Amino acid sequence: MKKCNRVGIDVSAKELIVAIEASGRREAPIALANDADGHRKLIQLATKRGASAQVVLESTGTYGLDLALALHRAKRVAVMVANPRAVAHFARASLQRSKTDRLDAETILEFAKRMPFTPWSPPAPAILELRALSRRIEAMSKSVVQEKNRLHANDQSEELSAFVKEDIRELADLLESRIARLRKQALLVIERSEDLAKAFAHITSIKGIAEASGISILAELAVLPADMTTRQWVAHAGLDPRQFQSGTSIHKPARISKTGNAHIRRSLFMRKRSVDPMFHQASG
């Protein structure tokens, strides 16, 4: 009978806390980077000595998606993406009173051992393609802004040659044409999927959200689990309020946490800038 290791992972933006039980022996949790290299090291640890592995992580949206995809593709690895509410209920039933990343990883490992294992299915290829296109558009849009800012700064200087200024203009124009091409492809991907097209129509029906921001918002939301609650969606976007108070003297106004998906917040910020006249007055 082949050995099957069990693995519980607490996922954050930059780090994975990994708890492994191999051959009935539980190892101390370890930290790995939440990047491609860290994912490879995790797979090697989970399947060492030719063992298979059942890996459980919580559905934390974008932070865990790339990891789940890497595990899904790996040989001898089955991955389950658990609902955070189910894990939280399990922790309370286990009388867990403290909360740290390492304890969370061990709790998820215990969840993996005791609860039915439900293999995860990745998002549809169209959703993953849309997400990749959207992230590429965002990266290139940042480059356009940088080039235009550089041109504006250099326009104030007489030291820069006309040739260099023209080169900056040409590069900005080229980047904008590539963005238009990527956006056209993203719209084709949406059009070919009935579910994506329906969701896109809902999103762009909101005042101030047109094609550009609609593509970005849809690309980030489409990869999320369908059973997430409204509160979880808000927290995932980092738009949940964060209280700051200390003792009786410090009571700062609540602000959004900004601990979630920055891509969604950036798209919504662009929407506010386009439709809110007070924003323009403040900016002016």
What pLDDT digit, counting tens, does each position of 179-205 carry?
999 999 999 999 999 999 999 999 999
Per-residue DSSP letter, 49: G
pLDDT tens per residue, range 26-79: 888 999 999 999 999 999 999 988 899 999 998 766 678 889 999 999 999 999
β-pair partners for 16: 11, 32
Alpha helices in the chain (DSSP H): 36-46, 62-73, 84-93, 101-114, 125-155, 162-192, 194-204, 211-221, 230-236, 262-275, 277-283
What average pLDDT does the chain have? 82
Check residue 274 and give its pLDDT: 41
Check residue 280 and give its pLDDT: 39
- The Cβ-side half-sphere exposure at 1, using a 13 Å CA radius, reads 4
pTM (global) more than 0.75: no
Domain spans in the chain, listed from the N-terminal domain onward: 4-114, 125-277
- pLDDT-above-90 percentage for the chain: 48
Question: If you classify domain 4-114 with CATH, what class do you get?
Answer: alpha beta
Check residue 54 and give its pLDDT: 95
